[in-house]
Amino acid sequence: MRTPTFLVMCALILTAATPAWAGSIQLRTVVEKEIETVDENGETRVHRVPADQVIPGDEVIYTIRFQNIGTEPAGDVRITDPIPVQMIYKIGSASGPDADVLFSVDGGKTLAPADRLTVLDDGGNPRPPVPEEFTHVQWVLKTPVVPGGSGEVSFRAQLK
Amino acid sequence: MSLEECVLRRAWYSLCCAAALFSFAMGAHASGTPVCTEIVNEATATYTIGDTEFTETSNSSSTTVAQLIDVSVVWQDATNVTVRPGESFRVLTFLVTNTGNGADSFDLSVVNTLAGDDFDPAFDDLYLDDGDGNFDTNDDVLYVSGSGDPVLAPDESVLVFVRNSIPGDAVSEDLGDSRLEAASNTGSGDPGTSFPHPECDTDIVVGASGGGGGDIGTYVVSAIALSFVKSQSILDPFGGGEPVPGAVITYTLTVTATGSGTAESVTVTDPIPANTTYNGGTLTLNGGGLSDPADADAGDVGATAPGAVTVLLGDLTEDSPSQTVTFAVTID
């Protein structure tokens, strides 16, 4: 008797998630890491594989793929990703096509370019943040995403 | 570790890791995220279509923290430990640290048959410190392999005292090495080797140490000898040299070191003879007065050792000048 109930629940969720007037940007995030392998010719190759598991010191790549599945262009697109607390943002690694990259060091309350971020030191004076203090990355796309258009943004972080 | 080093090391190990899912960062981060931690991430997008603002959330990506096995062993004595031929139970101190990110226990062993030294110490026993940092057979725990293996949380350390005997035929300035080894009971192997974790859906990965580590401590033989020479002069109340009641006896002790090495923390203790009374304020070291109470200077009368004068001479070598202690008593 579980199957019918499950189907009904799925139908409800689908209905709630995609009402007729819903937005059109679909997001998909993956976490990967790079491994090196040596092929039969002795050449070292770097591959990205899903980071199902990591060990302290590992560097991972968070990638967010976006696509406009609607029929209207989507403007003012901002994609925000929290940096997991166990991870240290790798300075300079946030990238994305045709986007301004902003950061937060206060849990996402305020966002600014990396060179304008400050935190208060023990004496209450502003200082530049250290990588461990970055909490969020935000990409502000400079152009609308047209119907069918897609792209991806990413950043790298290291497991504490 | 710099990124460059990291890349180089990764390249070095890439042959053995070609088939493994893991890259590894050689335990560069001692205080690692605990094993089995699940790290979930969700991105959000805001945008407008026409004048309407929308918010969309992504799926959740997830990664689980695997267990890294690593251990470090570091010899703690500041310099080679000075010993004499034939001595037993001489202590070398090591610090064993779990540099992995999961609790682990470690099997300890001592290797004394090492190349490159002059003699092989003979292993006596191993003790685990009780936490006060000082070796004490009453408080510290005699190590028993297996049941007594130290269990260490991530980043936790334990001081290990290794005791060895010195062969009787060792000669001055000979060096003897002793190596303490710690091996993870969780696993060992080539760095990057992995096997399933029993408690969560992740792996256990052998770190840079290969799951075991060790360090060498060194003894140096010192054959230094100390000579004590004691002399006395008597001045009786009548200006003569007779040992009669009321006569003052001045004792002179001379300490000289000969041979190689260092005699550490040399202390002279000399009892005040029976039927005499110490004359207050007469204690001297190398001509300088020492006060009678126990205080900052090198000597005291009756405080360190009841009924005796005690003078701390410190470390002496053959190059040290002879040390002269004097004090006076009156015959009762």
Question: Would you list the DSSP string of chain A?
Answer: -HHHHHHHHHHHHHHHHS-TT---EEEEEEEEEEEEEE-TTS-EEEEEEE-SEE-TT-EEEEEEEEEE-SSS-BEEEEEEEEPPTTEEE-TT--B-TTEEEEEESSTTSS-B-GGG--EE-TTS-EEPPPGGG--EEEEEESSPBPTT-EEEEEEEEEE-
Whether A34 has its CB under 8 Å from any CB of chain B: the answer is yes
Percent of chain A scoring above 70 in pLDDT: 86
Residue A8 in domain: no
Q: What is the mean pLDDT of residues B2-6?
A: 34
Residue A121 in domain: yes
Q: Best interface-test mutation with A: which of B16, B35, B44, B195 has the largest number of A CBs within 10 A? A: B44
Residue range B225-331, CATH number: 2.60.40.740
- Quote the CA–CA distance of B332 and B327 in Å, as a whole number: 16
> Residue A93: which CATH number?
2.60.40
Whether A95 has its CB under 8 Å from any CB of chain B: the answer is no
The CATH T-level fold of domain B68-221 is Immunoglobulin-like (2.60.40)
Pick from A31, A57, A81: CB nearest B63: A31
Residue A40 in domain: yes
What does the pLDDT read at residue B50? 87
Quick one: pLDDT band at residue B259, thresholds 50, 70, 90? confident
Q: For residue B66, which residues of chain A lie inside 8 Å, CB to CB? A: 53-55
Residues shown for chain B = 332
Residue in chain A closest to B15 (alpha carbons) equals A38
Neighbours of A101 (CB within 10 A): 18
Q: For residue A158, which residues of chain B lie inside 8 Å, CB to CB? A: 25, 29
What does the pLDDT read at residue B8? 32
Residue in chain B closest to A35 (alpha carbons) equals B23
Instruction: Tell if the CB–CB gap between A86 and B66 is shorter than 8 Å.
Output: no
What does the pLDDT read at residue B31? 56
Comparing CA positions, the residue from B71, B129, B67, B131 lying closest to residue B98 is: B71
Quick one: pLDDT band at residue A22, thresholds 50, 70, 90? low
Residue A3 in domain: no
Whether A70 has its CB under 8 Å from any CB of chain B: the answer is yes
Domain containing A26 equals 19-159
Residue A9 pLDDT > 80:
no
Lowest mean pLDDT, pick from A56-60, B77-81, B219-223: B219-223
CB distance B187 to B69 below 8 Å: yes
Residue B114 pLDDT > 60:
yes
- What percentage of chain B's residues is helix, strand, coil (to nearest 5)? 5, 50, 45
**Same CATH fold assignment for domains B68-221 and B225-331:** yes
Residue in chain B closest to A18 (alpha carbons) equals B56
Quick one: pLDDT band at residue B21, thresholds 50, 70, 90? very low
Q: For residue B29, which residues of chain A lie inside 8 Å, CB to CB? A: 56-57, 158-160
Q: For residue A49, which residues of chain B lie inside 8 Å, CB to CB? A: 21
Residue B244 pLDDT > 80:
yes
Average pLDDT, chain A: 86
Instruction: Tell if the CB–CB gap between A27 and B59 is shorter than 8 Å.
Output: yes
- Say how many domains are in chain A: 1
What does the pLDDT read at residue A60? 96
Whether A49 has its CB under 8 Å from any CB of chain B: the answer is yes
Q: For residue B38, which residues of chain A lie inside 8 Å, CB to CB? A: none
What does the pLDDT read at residue B25? 35
* Minimal C-alpha gap between B16 and chain A (Å): 9
Interface of A with B in 10-29 (CB under 8 A): 21-29
Whether A132 has its CB under 8 Å from any CB of chain B: the answer is no
Instruction: Tell if the CB–CB gap between B25 and A58 is shorter than 8 Å.
Output: yes
Structure tokens at A54: 């990591």
Average pLDDT, chain B: 87
Quick one: pLDDT band at residue A7, thresholds 50, 70, 90? very low
Instruction: Tell if the CB–CB gap between A53 and B64 is shorter than 8 Å.
Output: yes
Residue B3 pLDDT > 70:
no
Residue A4 in domain: no
Delimit the domains of chain B by residue range: 68-221, 225-331
Residue A109 pLDDT > 70:
yes
Residue in chain B closest to A77 (alpha carbons) equals B47
Q: For residue B52, which residues of chain A lie inside 8 Å, CB to CB? A: 21
Lowest mean pLDDT, pick from A60-69, B15-24, B195-204: B15-24
Q: For residue B28, which residues of chain A lie inside 8 Å, CB to CB? A: 57
Residue A54 pLDDT > 90:
yes
Which DSSP state fits B13? H
Residue A9 in domain: no
Residue A18 pLDDT > 80:
no
Residue A16 pLDDT > 90:
no
Mention every residue, 6+ apart, whose C-beta is less than 8 A from residue B248. B234, B235, B279, B328, B329, B330, B331
Neighbours of A148 (CB within 10 A): 10
